[in-house]
A = this chain, B = another copy of it.
Amino acid sequence: MATRAKPDTIKESCIDTALDIIEADGVEQLSLREVARRLGVSHQAPYKHFPTRDHILAAVVARCYAEFAAFLEARPRHQDGWADLGEMGLAYLSYAREFPLKYRLMFNAPLPAPSDHPDMMAKARHAFDILQNRLTSLNVRDVAVVVDHPARHDALFTWSCLHGLASLMQSDVLHTLPLEPADREVLVSRLMARLGAALNPGC
């Protein structure tokens, strides 16, 4: 008699397979029926774990957020907080370059409604909190115009810069510009230096 796979294992296998489908054929091709077909299980089997296609997509994206957060946490650590923020920025950009599909799924593609998928939402928030907490523990200086600046604003600014560069480096539009090969390498260090100046002006 064959050993029955544990429910958790089946659920994880469904998520693995969903990601395979997205990687091979694009997110449009994801369906619970196709997941079942590739796993060689009954059409109904994935529905035990995922009531709808959105639920399995949310589980895929939630796993991406968790991997992304772990990737940021695994950066080389520095005693100096600003240097540590720099490492986090480099880790962010490395993740986007190494895992472009997962990056797009998290940040550049339509998501299932977050409020219907609390686990996905929690994992996205956790990734954001890593950046926000890093900034909170730094003495981020204010710029002249504004009196108070909650750490989430600093985090959103920093995220915008990193996301903008990560997205442009993956985009086709960069190929329309007369850039030199060395520019792409330099871009990252320039961005990080400017970002430091933006958050810590006058230093």
Residues of A at the B interface (CB closer than 8 Å) are 106-108, 110-111, 114-115, 120-121, 124-125, 128, 143-146, 149, 152-153, 156-157, 159-165, 167-168, 171-173, 175-179, 183, 186-187, 189-191, 193-199, 201-202
A173's partner among B111, B164, B175 (CB-CB below 8 A) is B111
B196 touches A153 (CB 8 A): no
Q: What DSSP secondary structure best describes chain A's contact surface?
A: helix
A186 contact set on B, CB distance < 8 A: 153
A183 contact set on B, CB distance < 8 A: 152-153, 156
A201's partner among B108, B111, B178, B201 (CB-CB below 8 A) is B201
Q: Name which of A163, A178, A199 has the most chain B CB atoms within 10 A of its CB.
A: A163
A199 touches B193 (CB 8 A): no
A195 touches B198 (CB 8 A): yes
A145 to B193, CA, bound (A): 7
A167 touches B176 (CB 8 A): no
Instruction: List the number of copies, as a whole number.
Output: 2
Apart from A159-B164, A162-B164, 9 more pairs, CB < 8 Å? A111-B172, A114-B175, A125-B178, A143-B194, A149-B190, A157-B187, A164-B164, A201-B201, A202-B202
Q: List the B residue with the shortest CB-CB distance to A175.
A: B114
Q: List the B residue with the shortest CB-CB distance to A179.
A: B152
A176 touches B124 (CB 8 A): yes
Q: Which 7 A-B pairs have the closest CB atoms?
A: A164-B164, A198-B198, A160-B164, A111-B172, A124-B176, A160-B165, A197-B201
A191 to B154, CA, bound (A): 9
A160 contact set on B, CB distance < 8 A: 161, 164-165, 168, 191
Q: Name which of A121, A149, A197 has the most chain B CB atoms within 10 A of its CB.
A: A197
B143 touches A193 (CB 8 A): yes
Q: List the B residue with the shortest CB-CB distance to A203.
A: B201
| 20 sample A-B contacts, Cβ–Cβ < 8 Å, listed by A number | A111-B172, A111-B175, A120-B176, A121-B176, A128-B177, A143-B194, A146-B189, A149-B190, A152-B177, A153-B186, A156-B165, A156-B168, A157-B165, A160-B161, A160-B164, A161-B161, A163-B167, A164-B164, A194-B198, A195-B198
